[in-house]
Structure 1
Amino acid sequence: MSRPKPEMLHENVAGITRAAEVLRHGGLLALPTETVYGLAADARNSRAVARIFEAKGRPTFNPLIVHVSTLEAARELGVFSDTALALATAFWPGPMTLVVPSKGQVADLVSGGLDTLAIRVPAHPLARAVLEAFGGPIAAPSANPSGQISPTLAEHVVAGLGDKVEAVLDGGACGVGLESTILAPGPGGVRLLREGGISREAVEAVVGPVTADLTPGRVEAPGQMERHYAPRTKVVLGGATAPGEVTIGFGAVSGDFTLSERGDLVEAAARLFATLHAADTRAEAQGAQVIRVADVPEVGLGRAINDRLRRAAT
């Protein structure tokens, strides 16, 4: 028996108005950002935030990212040092999350028991329109069951969460396709807690060298669980292809699917999760036991792509 579907909202004034109404009434709304689709709730409503964890099957010690419409709104929720302000000015709106000391203005569950808050200002016009119509902060992790492939299309959300979400605002494919880069500015410098849609090189051009603090399984910010972004089929990285496997190519290495025939890391990032979804569907249809992914260079956005692939393969 198929799972009931949520209310589908469209990219227009009526859809945005209804999306804000769902949030005001404590509902769960899936909406597009430039990174992936987020599962949004009013960040100040403890019951609504608890429903995010329930819908995703997410451990409550795993904190959520709060989305706001402006830097000024972010500063009402967290304490921003000069370094944090420099990063926010350089990369917001955009796929960068800052972990800063919390002012305690959101539900306790949002921070997962920490005294810090992960905040970002999204760039996607629909996300921004909903934030402005709603008039408050929203907590929004990726709109998928915990540990599974992140959604970059509305249909990914429906397939994964079904009636666990009241409404889905369909904004088409997400442009960046990778979750945000997470940074923690502190007295000792800037720590990189998650590779993401803004490369390490771009960050270092603004604040100088950063310290990569990417210990798997040590949860200080969203997206640090050791196994994450995983399809149902086993993922293997690199190596020789065996008969019966579903393959994902990159650059000169061809496959059943490809992240980018040109070897373009931006294109590969944007297509990563959608390609994993498609490969998983193909593997299940064919009875394949393995999805094999071609090597991706460990430079720029390639680091973030490989981070997601390694977690998917764990």
Structure 2
Amino acid sequence: MNTKMAVIKEDDFNYDAVFEAAEVIRAGGLVAFPTETVYGLGADALNSEAVKKIFEAKGRPQDNPLIIHVADKDIKKYAENISPIAEELINKFWPGPLTIILSKSSIIPFVTSANLNTVGIRMPASKIALELIKASGVPIAAPSANISGRPSPTDFERCVEDLNGKVDYILGGNISEVGLESTIVDCTVNPPCVLRPGAVTLEMLKAIHKDIYIDPAVMKKPAENLKPKAPGMKYRHYAPKAKVKIIEGDLKKTIEKINEMVLNYIDENLKVGIMATDESLPFYKFGEVISLGSRKDLNSIAQNLFETLRTFDDKNVDVILSEAFIREGIGIAIMNRLTKAAGFDIITLD
């Protein structure tokens, strides 16, 4: 397959490229495109054959449901039993990095919902994404634009790396502002339940409804027989080629432990990557060290997380050692992605 590509600059918006990509969507093809969270791999959400191509291109399990992306807040065509709380969340956080799970209408094919009677719906804030959906005239089903299981792409080049020759069109734009996939809230239950943490934090959600909570399973290793209700709940996700280990505890003790482990790995002739922060960077003398940003700005750490994991792949490291982060605000989402990338391999220090 010959993949066509175009990059759109925010200050010189290329509607021709958007219309060209929209034609691909309408014809049942696949388009990778930017959103404010991560890049998505899109197809017509109402076209079963087109949606099947997403699973094939990504190597994605068929029981892993897709999120559909819309260009306005009127979703009655796609969802049923929209509760007042769901409407409040939509009015507050759309467009933006929040996905709402609702009972699906019959117009949504079961291949899109992974045979569930529910569907996740999101209105992205990215101008390119919104204009693509509008021009296509259909909702766009779009998981992240990567090979299934790998760290999600936050820029055009990483989409090309994973999907060139596997999709019809790659539409590029700026680096994703958030860097983590959307928060997912299940509004088919009362109180609503967070199935995937993201940039719309629990604290922000509780301002709408004080009883909203995070599913305890979010930070636990999933059962083999789990039927996932939302993307990212069951399968190995966000993982680079190297083995990832998280060291969690007091920062000073964490640095000491990582330095000790690095020397042991070097003795075994293994190449080690260290995911550090601005505060800890000066204290690591060995290994490939990359700072995710400052602990005072967890949003920057979130934005840099996936790209850093991919950079370690570029450097062909064998093991990645990562510091842990505070489990509040967007830190919960960071630790959710890190924990899954590490396959729940966490060393907890006293």
- State the TM-score bracket (shorter-chain normalisation): over 0.9
Superposition map of 1:1-314 within 5 A: 6-11=3-8, 12-72=14-74, 74-79=75-80, 80-215=82-217, 216-217=221-222, 218=226, 219-238=228-247, 239-241=257-259, 242-243=262-263, 244-254=271-281, 256-261=289-294, 263-282=296-315, 284=316, 288-314=317-343
Q: Which amino acid aligns with 1:220?
A: K
1:5 to 1:306, Cα distance in 2 relative to 1, 3 A: farther
Residues 202 and 214, structure 2, Cα contact 8 Å, conserved in 1: no
- Three-state SS of the structure 2 residue aligned to 1:111 is coil
Quote the residue 2:254 is aligned against.
none
Q: Partners in 2 of 1:161 and 1:250 — Cα distance?
A: 31
Q: Name the stretch that deviates more: 242-251 or 17-26.
A: 242-251
Q: Partners in 2 of 1:5 and 1:248 — Cα distance?
A: 36
Cα distance per residue 1:156-203 (max 9 Å; x no partner): 111112211111111120001100000012452111101112111101
Q: Name the stretch that deviates more: 187-196 or 216-225.
A: 216-225
Quote the residue 2:251 is aligned against.
none
- Three-state SS of the structure 2 residue aligned to 1:40 is strand
Q: Partners in 1 of 2:336 and 2:183 — Cα distance?
A: 12
1:214 to 1:130, Cα distance in 2 relative to 1, 3 A: farther
1:120 to 1:210, Cα distance in 2 relative to 1, 3 A: same
Residues 50 and 109, structure 1, Cα contact 8 Å, conserved in 2: yes
Q: Name the stretch that deviates more: 118-127 or 182-191.
A: 182-191
Once the two structures are TM-superposed, the CA of residue 107 in structure 1 deviates from its matched residue by 2.1
Residues 29 and 168, structure 2, Cα contact 8 Å, conserved in 1: yes
- Three-state SS of the structure 2 residue aligned to 1:39 is strand
Q: Partners in 2 of 1:263 and 1:310 — Cα distance?
A: 21
Q: Partners in 2 of 1:189 and 1:207 — Cα distance?
A: 8
Q: Partners in 2 of 1:132 and 1:289 — Cα distance?
A: 44
Q: Which amino acid aligns with 1:9?
A: A
Residues 184 and 190, structure 1, Cα contact 8 Å, conserved in 2: yes
Q: Partners in 2 of 1:264 and 1:253 — Cα distance?
A: 14
Q: Aligned pair count?
A: 306
Once the two structures are TM-superposed, the CA of residue 62 in structure 1 deviates from its matched residue by 0.6
Q: Which amino acid aligns with 1:166?
A: D
User: How many percent identity over aligned positions?
Assistant: 40
Q: Partners in 2 of 1:5 and 1:157 — Cα distance?
A: 15
**RMSD value, Cα:** 1.4
Once the two structures are TM-superposed, the CA of residue 275 in structure 1 deviates from its matched residue by 1.2
Q: Partners in 2 of 1:154 and 1:37 — Cα distance?
A: 8
| Structure 1 runs not aligned, ≥5 long | none
1:276 to 1:308, Cα distance in 2 relative to 1, 3 A: same
Q: Partners in 1 of 2:323 and 2:279 — Cα distance?
A: 10
1:276 to 1:263, Cα distance in 2 relative to 1, 3 A: farther
Residues 194 and 215, structure 2, Cα contact 8 Å, conserved in 1: yes
Q: Partners in 2 of 1:32 and 1:68 — Cα distance?
A: 14
